[in-house]
Structure 1
Amino acid sequence: MHLDHAETYPQRHTHSADPQRPDGTRRALRIGLGGPVGSGKTATVAALCRALRDELSIAVVTNDIYTREDAAFLLREAVLPPERITSVETGACPHTAIRDDISANLEAVEDLQETIGAGLDLVLVESGGDNLTATFSKGLVDHQVFIIDVAGGDDIPRKGSPGVTTADLLVINKTDLAPYVGSDLGSMARDAAAQRGRLPVAFTTLKTEGGVKPVADWVRARLADWTRVPV
């Protein structure tokens, strides 16, 4: 049965920010990526940047508690020009900065929008490594992706959580490891469908060429929807 956590885990901000910038132009679409430590959030962000950077104008905000390690990784990998990557040091539980007090992240997003200008299509906001309860404020992002990996156990979709059941896209990552960690991809797919209803699920393995394609295609579809929103 699909579990709806909307009332159990209310979000402080209930409306997305206005799609229109003060100058009347459309702001960038904002997509948040969350998930447990080691699930592959930063690797997914890097893969998305590589897959989409030739067709879209992209920027990234990363979150870490006490470091800027994820942003430094993206800079070393040169997935985007340096001026398009920034970071937030939350100094506390990561989901606090993406759900409860979003001010630092929102400022980072808006600074990128000002720097890059009206041509910016997409901002990816990566949460710091958290647990299965992480969700993004709708005042910060327009859509959220939740990433788990097969090494965390194939019972995660069955057990559910706000991230698993309510994210706009659930990504089950590192499918290439399934035979080595005893995870049953078929049961994960069935359990995810039971928990999420019609909400989509993508299986990814970022070690193969094109492994991020299901997520990239989903992002393209969300951006197409976004450009049809009147401003």
Structure 2
Amino acid sequence: MHLDHPVTMPHRHTYSAEPQRTDGSRRAFRVGLGGPVGSGKTATVAALCRTLRDELSLAVVTNDIYTREDAEFLLREAVLPPERITAVETGACPHTAIRDDISANLEAVEHFDETLDPLDLVLIESGGDNLTATFSKGLVDVQIFVIDVSSGDDIPRKGGPGITTADLLVVNKTDLAPHVGADLATMAADAERQRGDLPVVFTSLTSDDGIREIADWITGHLTRWRAKAAA
């Protein structure tokens, strides 16, 4: 169980992640998941693990400011074996560890690459943040931003880098829309205006197939990434 991962912040990383490790072998595909507190990031990670664990070798890195709550939740739910889940305590704004200085997260994913080889996929969950949260390209290959309808149907309209630039926007908890007065059509139209051709998934993780579209999106990107790395 890797819950004592130290946080070190020696310098800023701005380079793009390379598909090969230092020995020339292929590293795992890395997916970052960000979004506000309570939007359903950890539930999304848990559902992805349950859906993909029989077809892919995967691991999870969670980020919290002062606790290890998200990693401990995943461990209690037994979504993966304990050696495939680790926690980073950022000790500061989540932006710091996923975008500005990725040292602790990068060390964690590289440790997984070394100890769980062969490894297909690493999910990196940010601590709960605001609409400006983005991941460094030196840490992840693609990023997903999760919002939920209970926060208001004006959230897509507010924009911010998380909403406008994430490779996939997930609008979660659609089952709550009638109860909180959220207009899903308005959210869809606003998201399209903010994102252009970038994809948006509306879902409820309480439904049996609520994670399927997100899982398929990830595996599609993984397949293309592998093909590009092999070319």
Q: TM-score, normalised by structure 2?
A: 0.93
- The number of residue pairs the alignment matches comes to 219
- Tell me which residue corresponds to 1:45: 45
- Tell me which residue corresponds to 1:61: 61
| Shift in CA distance, 22/13, structure 1 to aligned 2, threshold 3 Å | closer
Taking the aligned partners of 1:230 and 1:157, their CA distance within structure 2 comes to 34
Q: Structure 1 stretches of 5 or more lacking a match?
A: 1-11
- Tell me which residue corresponds to 2:116: 116
SS state at 2:171 partner: strand
SS state at 2:209 partner: coil
Amino acid at match of 1:23: D
- Tell me which residue corresponds to 1:205: 204
Q: Deviations over 1:127-159 (max 9, x none)?
A: 001111100000000100000000011001111
SS state at 2:228 partner: coil
Q: Structure 2 stretches of 5 or more lacking a match?
A: 1-11
Q: Deviations over 1:80-102 (max 9, x none)?
A: 01000001000010111100010
Shift of 1:25: 1.4
Amino acid at match of 2:159: G
Would the aligned equivalents of 1:203 and 1:214 in 2 still touch at CA under 8 Å?
no
SS state at 1:130 partner: coil
Segments of 4+ moved more than 2 angstroms: 12-16
- Tell me which residue corresponds to 1:162: 161
Shift of 1:24: 1.9
Taking the aligned partners of 1:223 and 1:108, their CA distance within structure 2 comes to 20
Shift of 1:176: 0.3
Shift of 1:204: 1.3
Amino acid at match of 2:194: Q
* 1:1-231 matches, cutoff 5 A: 13-117=13-117, 119-230=118-229
Amino acid at match of 1:46: A
Taking the aligned partners of 1:203 and 1:15, their CA distance within structure 2 comes to 32
Shift of 1:14: 4.8
SS state at 1:47 partner: helix
> How much identity, in percent, do the aligned residues show?
75
Q: TM-score, normalised by structure 1?
A: 0.93
Taking the aligned partners of 1:223 and 1:137, their CA distance within structure 2 comes to 18
Amino acid at match of 1:87: A
